[in-house]
Chains A and B, each alone.
Chain A
């Protein structure tokens, strides 16, 4: 198990490194950061000045190496635009994004697991079809469209919910639904498939034969086993939501990490973009790594493979 964990950890570190390297070079491919920083219409003199002040004239590999060494020492740099320490800005905004991700995931699980269970119990029935439809709509509907529709109805027409900001828990309702709905199908399908498999297994038949109440069989014996892959999927989906929050945070003007990422791309704030990509990828990789470990722990065959 330790060897397996170390191997996975090694892969995770390499992935993080590759992601940071790729994102660094991609920033440059999209144009000269000095031009972006100097602003539209800046004179050549202004641009040269910015280039000199921020050290953009050095070779790309030197800039990357410099950044990496400092990042490893815990220094993520200084934002060119916000004029603040990158790490402190990120850690100030991370809780908002985490809270949004957690709310969205909670919404997805609350909706998807019962739907999946019902769909499995009544497989191929009308209920199953309805559940499937709900899931397919979730998958097909772009989250920004859902977000705008929610704003239109709950924010403008009915004036029931605040549209922007994070002033109260009410502000999180619409963003959580918009963000969480997208992952509902995956969770629902997995719950349904897991339940179907478990319900047809021998130990469930034995439990039923023992005369246990149907609810006990369903929740205590079947769901507990069927839910295990959902737990690892949720971990990965949580990572996805942190990244996916870019769109939702932008629409609802939530001052989180996703919004910061979008803004930093707009203004070519290299240290900030680098750090956010690093934080997002480390999160994602960490969650995938934990899911791998969990799976390995639960199913010894994976460890051998």
Chain B
């Protein structure tokens, strides 16, 4: 019985020994083994672009699958992808000529049947696509020839190409036919093995841990997406932000995002890391209870709303709290979206003017109210600080998104400070139509605004759309129904070995990355 050595000393010894064994450090990845290791905080179990609605699957969707068209991020123009050309047959029908040299990852040929099958499956509500709004505008698809299809719409839907490029990936015909049954007897479409035509193919998935994608060596030539460069892409779930940073610094990861500002600024000094701040489609806004549903009539007064617009130093919040790529917006849309204009009335930061307006509205000594928020607490706290300077006392109700959303939609919030990401759709209909056509998120329910927005929503003529949307934005700004605040900006941190460019739609195109 020689086990007397057990004690703190031996514990320390064991740890020391372990360190000696591990002296060579954890396995290094990245450029050396041609594997891009990227990580976010989400667990991914289902690798299917229609039955998983996470941002990660949108990113992987663009890697593993192709849409009919491709949107050039720089010019905003649509280019061919699986389709070679297209035209509007009428206001509710788009016709596409398809490529005849594309193969799916399983070796089968791509043709019109695949497009017809995919669109008819996903547009059928009973098939339970998670973000149904991405495809709900499709009525059906029909085959016009071996490489020609017609997509019929329920009604005119001008941003159709934006959705086709961003969220309508093509699957092989009969893809979901062999779906296993769930416990309730319904088919479990999410359980089907992923097959696409994209520049990368899914090689291995461990639910909640990693998704491994490998370069598709047979990816079709002259694709608008280019030719994939890096051999393997490995996605890993690491929930804790500090752990992600630690792994990036030690080389076990090559790419992370959503790094908090202070940490990003500190990381920028590291010799092996590039830190980039890039704008996103998400905007911050403040919505007022214009129709007085919440029980207070303060915000039914236009001058109070305008006073708020003058009182809040949006420029300071954007630059000091969000990041250098963030910009103040004056209109209820993102500047990168089609149809967005910043040419509307502007409320410059002017506390004196704000006080004046408050006095004119009958509140010379200010008032108290409840403000609701869910996202970055410090942004809302900055707003509260600015309002205090004009004598308005805001009580912060900070809640979980799903709880807040309920009460916002019931009209119970006098003011809510929220955000909107427009589903990364580069068209103003993805924002203004949600908030100003009398839907549950509409704070004003103004008939005139609704009318203007709907003309824009239903016309396929770009100039007509721009004209009517502009009038709607002018009215929203003039009446101060909404206070558009600023665009969000994200911090990306990645290995200096990686040649990566961020895009404002928050969809990193990993298939375009290469090693430096």
Contact = CB atoms under 8 A, between A and B. Distances in A.
Interface of A: 30-33, 35-36, 38-46, 49-50, 53, 75, 77-79, 81-85, 89, 107, 110-111, 114-115, 148, 151-152, 154-156, 158-164, 167, 169-170, 173, 177, 250-253, 255, 259-260, 262-263, 268
5 contacts: A83-B188, A156-B246, A160-B19, A164-B243, A252-B243
Given A49-B125, A82-B208, A162-B22, A31 B249 contact: no
Contacts of B183: 75, 77-78, 85
B289 to A, nearest CB: 19
Contacts of B236: 164, 253
Given A110-B7, A111-B11, A162-B252, 9 more contacts: A43-B434, A44-B409, A46-B130, A83-B46, A84-B207, A154-B19, A160-B23, A170-B22, A253-B243
Interface stretch (B73-81, B83-91, B399-407): B399-407
Given A42-B131, A111-B8, A35 B19 contact: no
Going nearest first, the 8 A-B pairs with the smallest beta carbon separation are A31-B402, A162-B26, A31-B403, A35-B402, A82-B45, A160-B19, A159-B25, A114-B7
A84 B45 contact: yes
Given A164-B243, A259-B239, A36 B19 contact: no
A169 B15 CA distance: 11
Contacts of A161: 18-19, 22, 26
A151 B402 contact: no
Nearest to B209: A255
Contact of B208 (A33, A115, A255): A255
Interface of B: 6-8, 10-11, 15, 18-19, 21-23, 25-27, 43, 45-46, 51, 53-54, 125, 128, 130-133, 136, 182-184, 188, 190-191, 207-209, 236-240, 242-243, 246-247, 249-250, 252, 400-403, 405-406, 409, 420-421, 423, 434, 439-440
B66 to A, nearest CB: 23
Nearest to A117: B7
A247 to B, nearest CB: 9
Contact of B53 (A38, A75, A85, A250): A38
A160 B131 CA distance: 45
A245 to B, nearest CB: 13
B182 A115 contact: no
A52 to B, nearest CB: 9
Given A36-B402, A43-B434, A75-B183, A251 B7 contact: no
A38 B130 contact: yes
Given A35-B406, A39-B53, A49-B125, A44 B249 contact: no
Contacts of B128: 49, 53
Given A110-B10, A163-B243, A30 B132 contact: no
Nearest to A170: B22
B150 to A, nearest CB: 25
Contacts of A250: 239-240
A86 to B, nearest CB: 10
B7 A43 contact: no
B421 A40 contact: yes
A155 B402 contact: no
Contacts of A164: 236, 238, 243, 247, 252
A36 B247 CA distance: 29
Residue picked from B15, B43, B53, B184, most chain A C-beta under 10 Å: B43
A167 B8 CA distance: 26
A45 B440 contact: no
Contacts of B240: 250-253
Given A35-B406, A81-B45, A163-B26, A262 B239 contact: yes
Contacts of B18: 160-161, 169-170, 173
Given A82-B208, A110-B7, A160-B23, A31 B246 contact: no
A50 B401 CA distance: 17
A63 B250 CA distance: 47
A263 B43 contact: yes
Contacts of A49: 125, 128, 132
B409 to A, nearest CB: 8
A46 B26 contact: no
A83 B190 contact: yes
A85 B99 CA distance: 40
Nearest to A43: B133
B406 A31 contact: yes
Contacts of A253: 236-240, 243
Residue picked from B15, B184, B237, most chain A C-beta under 10 Å: B15
B53 to A, nearest CB: 5
B251 to A, nearest CB: 9
A244 B128 CA distance: 37
A32 B209 contact: no
Contact of B249 (A46, A77, A156): A156
B7 A173 contact: no
Given A30-B403, A170-B22, A253-B240, A159 B250 contact: yes
